[in-house]
């Protein structure tokens, strides 16, 4: 190595200042170089003194490696591919009986229990220009015996091409009903991919929050503020989108749920396409947040509100079974925190807890009846003070709970006919009171509608509520024994017919808004969630007596669901299902024309009076006769009817290629 002499040494004073590097020869021989030109060592060795050029060291800016994003993305892609392979292997048997179109949809959109990471990246491999697949609907079909009888007794109309096609579809439907394992579709994603939706600017959030505050008395804003007060919603939105501190997953769901509903309300009022995209964006965020929400978190009011809002979201996305998981958990947390046994609320915080409990109570009771499951709380366990002006949705939920517990549950079906008729009579009167109240509010809203800026959507929402209330009334009256040789009571048939007419009017109002999300919400709440049994009642009566007017009602009901674009209609769309059943009803009339009647021979009503009190009061006398006891086994028939309709609704929830 080169030596560095001390300044006191003689050689050190003769060495020039170091202003360049050693020559190549001295560096190779590893001896000291005096850095002269040429150096003394090279002169003595008689070699060329050379200096190689050194490339300057340029330090390039290192790019930060986002391990948490890039590596996780690759892992998610691999996980998604593996899930797709599992999905294909699990569905090999199903694809043999499915059409090519359905197989294509399942290949791209179905997944087995998607994880949060898979849900976020479920659309990675799809080209950007490809539109999302049509939504799946959460419902099914009923009256297996009738479908089988049509299949077996269609010899007189086999030459008809239209009916041959209907029979073929009915065979697939009957096969799906008898083999329930074939009807269980794999779960689809809970939300749209965020990459396909433009993200709103923060200014848009500020504007919509101000709009919500200015329209705090609008029907839809008042509805969502039953979960939490408006000020609490605004604070949570500020915390999630405008503050630095962390927020919980529950607060994330609450904020995005509120924004999605407010953007949806603004869009349907003003017809703003950009606002509709914003609504889709935040609804997608709600679905993304639900995949990350843990049900084992510490109980708190925010978690209960998030679960309730998530349950509402899943109902609107045709996921009733998954919605039950969230709403039943929310009810359990309410009982854990003692919300159902609060004394008279003394402050604002207890009022919030009380209001939140009643919201969870109403939706939990509704899903209990919808799915045929026992509620997580009995009315006898609720000691919370009931306000005199309690919202009618809470009273409706209480009626739904009683309808299942006392009429259609296994325990209710074991009670006597007279007891069930008495319960049905009482519940129908309570429902009539709610229906009258809704009619009065509609009339009042119409008089106030002169100023179009004053909540123009209120009338439509009230009509939707009226359809749900009427459908529940028909279901309650179905318990009453039939009169004059009819299978159903005259009042039940009248209510069912009027409900179909109400639906036709309401669907025209909803379609007039030109908002696909509003249409989908109405169908999911009024037709699939209520549950909507008037179609089943009129359907059975029309087939039995071949009444032309009832066939026309069924046709209008089916055609009301027809979308503007038939290309986006999935296999389980309500229009396809109910059109098939309406054709089946007319097929039966065509095969047996001698049974055809008009409505003149059987009573019918077209006014909005849901219940005839005098007709209902005769139930006790009918139930007391021996003839009814021998000819009408109510426990068996009502239980079988309810079970068939539950199977019908479950089938509609699945993706069956019929």
3-class secondary structure per residue, 414-470: CCCHHHHHHHHHHHHHHHHHHHHHHHHHHHHHHHCCCCCCCCCCHHHHHHHHHHHHH
Two tokens, residue 1? 């190595």
Q: What is the pLDDT of residue 330?
A: 95
Q: Is the pLDDT confidence value at 107 over 70?
A: no
Two tokens, residue 650? 């479950």
Q: What is the pLDDT of residue 332?
A: 94
User: How confident is residue 598, by pLDDT bands cut at 50, 70 and 90?
Assistant: very low
Name the CATH code of domain 1-53 (choices 1.20.120, 3.40.50, 3.30.720, 4.10.240): 4.10.240
Task: Find where tokens 């009986």 sit.
Answer: 97
575/556 Cα distance (integer angstroms) = 10
Q: Is the pLDDT confidence value at 148 over 70?
A: no
Average pLDDT over residues 256-262: 95
Two tokens, residue 81? 């591919």
For residues 297 and 618, which has the higher predicted lDDT (pLDDT)?
297
Q: Is the pLDDT confidence value at 418 over 60?
A: yes
Q: What is the pLDDT of residue 421?
A: 92
Q: 334, 357 in Cβ contact below 8 A? A: yes
320/306 Cα distance (integer angstroms) = 17
Q: What is the pLDDT of residue 435?
A: 95
249/293 Cα distance (integer angstroms) = 6
Kindly report, residue by residue over 225-249, the tens digit of the pLDDT. Answer: 999 999 999 999 999 998 777 889 9
Closest CA to 584 of 263, 143, 78, 253: 143
Q: What is the pLDDT of residue 501?
A: 94
Average pLDDT over residues 338-363: 84
Phi, psi (rounded to 5 degrees) for 139: -160, 180
Kindly report, residue by residue over 465-515, the tens digit of the pLDDT. Answer: 999 999 999 999 988 888 766 778 889 999 999 999 999 999 999 988 888
Quote the crossing angle between the two packed helices 301-316 and 249-270, to the nearest 10°: 50
Closest CA to 460 of 316, 209, 269, 214: 269
Q: What is the pLDDT of residue 152?
A: 67
The answer for residues whose C-beta is within 8 angstroms of residue 468's C-beta and 6 or more apart is: 396, 525, 526, 530
- In the chain, what percentage of residues exceed pLDDT 90? 30
**Segment among 49-63, 326-340, 572-586, 614-628 with least mean pLDDT:** 614-628
> What secondary structure letter does DSSP report for 515?
-
Q: What is the pLDDT of residue 473?
A: 94
For residues 558 and 607, which has the higher predicted lDDT (pLDDT)?
558
**Segment among 82-91, 365-374, 557-566, 608-617 with least mean pLDDT:** 608-617
Q: What is the pLDDT of residue 124?
A: 38
Q: For all residues of the chain together, what is the average pLDDT?
A: 75
- In the chain, what percentage of residues exceed pLDDT 70? 64
User: How confident is residue 385, by pLDDT bands cut at 50, 70 and 90?
Assistant: confident
Length in residues, the chain: 658
> How does DSSP assign 196-217, residue by residue?
GSPPPPHHHHHHHHHHHHHTTT
For residues 358 and 383, which has the higher predicted lDDT (pLDDT)?
358
For residue 611, count other CB atoms closer than 10 A to its CB: 20
Closest CA to 397 of 358, 371, 426: 358
pTM, entire model: 0.70
Kindly report, residue by residue over 551-595, the tens digit of the pLDDT. Answer: 999 999 999 888 776 555 555 567 777 887 888 788 777 766 555
Phi, psi (rounded to 5 degrees) for 286: -65, -45
For residues 455 and 524, which has the higher predicted lDDT (pLDDT)?
524
The answer for residues whose C-beta is within 8 angstroms of residue 537's C-beta and 6 or more apart is: 474, 478, 488, 492, 493, 496
User: How confident is residue 113, by pLDDT bands cut at 50, 70 and 90?
Assistant: very low
Collapsing DSSP states into helix, strand and coil, what is residue 402? helix
Two tokens, residue 14? 């003769």
Q: Is the pLDDT confidence value at 126 over 70?
A: no
Domain assignments of the chain as residue spans, ordered by start: 1-53, 422-562+569-652
CA 61, chain centre distance (Å): 48
Two tokens, residue 111? 């997944």
Quote the crossing angle between the two packed helices 230-241 and 249-270, to the nearest 10°: 110
Could you tell me what percentage of the chain is helix, strand and coil, using 3-state DSSP and rounding each to the nearest 5? 65, 0, 35
271/475 Cα distance (integer angstroms) = 36
CB burial of residue 455 (10 Å; 0-12, 13-18, 19+)? buried
For residues 585 and 13, which has the higher predicted lDDT (pLDDT)?
585
Collapsing DSSP states into helix, strand and coil, what is residue 618? coil
User: How confident is residue 65, by pLDDT bands cut at 50, 70 and 90?
Assistant: low
User: How confident is residue 87, by pLDDT bands cut at 50, 70 and 90?
Assistant: low
Kindly report, residue by residue over 186-236, the tens digit of the pLDDT. Answer: 444 555 565 667 788 889 999 999 999 999 889 999 999 999 999 999 999
For residues 338 and 640, which has the higher predicted lDDT (pLDDT)?
338
439/448 Cα distance (integer angstroms) = 14
For residues 299 and 604, which has the higher predicted lDDT (pLDDT)?
299
Q: What is the pLDDT of residue 261?
A: 95
CB burial of residue 359 (10 Å; 0-12, 13-18, 19+)? buried
Kindly report, residue by residue over 152-187, the tens digit of the pLDDT. Answer: 655 555 556 666 777 777 677 666 555 544 444 444
For residues 97 and 430, which has the higher predicted lDDT (pLDDT)?
430
Q: Is the pLDDT confidence value at 631 over 60?
A: no
Average pLDDT over residues 248-270: 94
Q: Is the pLDDT confidence value at 420 over 80?
A: yes
Kindly report, residue by residue over 311-343, the tens digit of the pLDDT. Answer: 999 999 888 888 999 999 999 999 999 888 877
User: How confident is residue 649, by pLDDT bands cut at 50, 70 and 90?
Assistant: low
Two tokens, residue 590? 């065509």
Q: What is the pLDDT of residue 37?
A: 83
Q: What is the pLDDT of residue 584?
A: 79
Closest CA to 608 of 488, 538, 506: 506
271/259 Cα distance (integer angstroms) = 17
What is the gyration radius of the CA atoms in the chain, in angstroms? 35
For residues 652 and 211, which has the higher predicted lDDT (pLDDT)?
211
């Amino acid at each position: 190595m080169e030596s560095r002499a001390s300044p006191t040494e003689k050689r050190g004073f003769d060495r020039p200042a170091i202003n360049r590097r050693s020559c190549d020869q001295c560096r190779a021989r590893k001896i000291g170089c005096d850095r002269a030109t040429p150096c003394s060592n090279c002169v003595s060795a008689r070699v060329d003194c050379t200096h190689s050029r050194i490339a300057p060291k340029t330090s390039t800016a290192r790019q930060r490696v986002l391990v948490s994003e890039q590596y996780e993305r690759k892992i998610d892609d691999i996980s998604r591919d593996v899930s797709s392979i599992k999905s294909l292997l699990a569905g090999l048997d199903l694809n043999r009986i499915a059409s090519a179109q359905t197989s294509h949809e399942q290949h791209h959109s179905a997944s087995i229990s998607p994880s949060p990471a898979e849900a976020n990246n479920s659309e990675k491999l799809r080209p950007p220009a490809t539109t999302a697949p049509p939504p799946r609907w959460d419902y099914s079909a009923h009256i297996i015996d009738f479908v089988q009888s049509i299949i077996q007794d269609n010899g007189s109309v086999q030459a008809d091409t239209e009916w041959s096609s209907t029979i073929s579809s009915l065979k697939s439907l009957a096969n799906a009903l008898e083999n329930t394992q074939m009807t269980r579709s794999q779960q689809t994603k809970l939300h749209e991919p965020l990459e396909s939706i433009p993200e709103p600017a923060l200014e848009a959030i500020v504007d919509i929050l101000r709009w919500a505050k200015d329209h705090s008395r609008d029907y839809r804003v008042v509805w969502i503020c039953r979960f939490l007060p408006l000020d609490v919603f605004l604070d949570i939105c500020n915390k999630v989108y405008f503050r630095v501190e962390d927020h919980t997953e529950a607060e994330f769901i609450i904020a995005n749920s509120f924004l999605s509903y407010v953007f949806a309300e603004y869009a349907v009022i003003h017809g703003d396409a950009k606002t509709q995209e914003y609504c889709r964006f935040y609804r997608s965020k709600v679905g993304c947040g639900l995949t990350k929400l843990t049900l084992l978190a510490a109980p708190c009011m925010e978690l209960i509100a998030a679960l309730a809002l998530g349950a509402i979201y899943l109902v609107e996305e045709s996921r009733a079974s998954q919605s039950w998981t969230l709403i039943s958990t929310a009810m359990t947390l309410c009982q854990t925190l003692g919300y159902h046994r609060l004394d008279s609320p003394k402050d604002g915080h207890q009022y919030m807890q009380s209001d939140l409990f009643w919201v969870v109570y109403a939706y939990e009771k509704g899903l209990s009846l919808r799915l045929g499951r026992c509620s997580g709380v009995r009315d006898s366990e609720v000691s919370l003070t009931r306000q005199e002006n309690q919202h009618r949705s809470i009273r409706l939920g209480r009626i739904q709970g009683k309808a299942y517990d006392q009429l259609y549950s296994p325990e209710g079906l074991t009670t006597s006919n007279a007891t069930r008729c008495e319960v049905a009579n009482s519940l129908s009167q309570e429902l009539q009171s709610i229906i009258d109240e809704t009619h009065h509010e509609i009339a009042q809203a119409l008089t106030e509608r002169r100023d179009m800026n004053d909540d123009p959507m209120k009338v439509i929402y009230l009509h939707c509520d009226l359809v749900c209330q009427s459908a529940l009334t028909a279901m309650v009256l179905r318990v009453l024994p039939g009169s004059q040789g009819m299978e159903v009571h005259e009042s039940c048939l009248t209510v069912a017919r009027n409900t179909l007419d109400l639906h036709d009017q309401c669907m025209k109002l909803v379609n007039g808004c030109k908002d696909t999300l509003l249409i989908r919400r109405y169908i999911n709440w009024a037709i699939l969630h209520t549950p909507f049994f008037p179609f089943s009642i009129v359907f059975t009566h029309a087939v039995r007596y071949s009444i032309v007017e009832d066939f026309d009602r069924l046709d209008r009901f089916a055609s009301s669901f027809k979308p503007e674009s038939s290309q986006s209609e999935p296999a389980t769309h309500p229009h396809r299902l109910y059109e098939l059943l309406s054709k089946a009803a007319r097929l039966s009339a065509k095969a047996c024309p001698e049974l055809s009647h008009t409505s003149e021979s059987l009573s019918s009503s077209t006014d909005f009076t849901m219940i005839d009190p005098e007709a209902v009061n005769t139930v006790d006398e009918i139930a007391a006769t021996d003839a009814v006891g021998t000819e009408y086994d109510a426990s068996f028939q009502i239980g079988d009817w309810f079970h068939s309709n539950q199977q019908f609704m479950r089938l509609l929830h699945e993706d069956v290629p019929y």
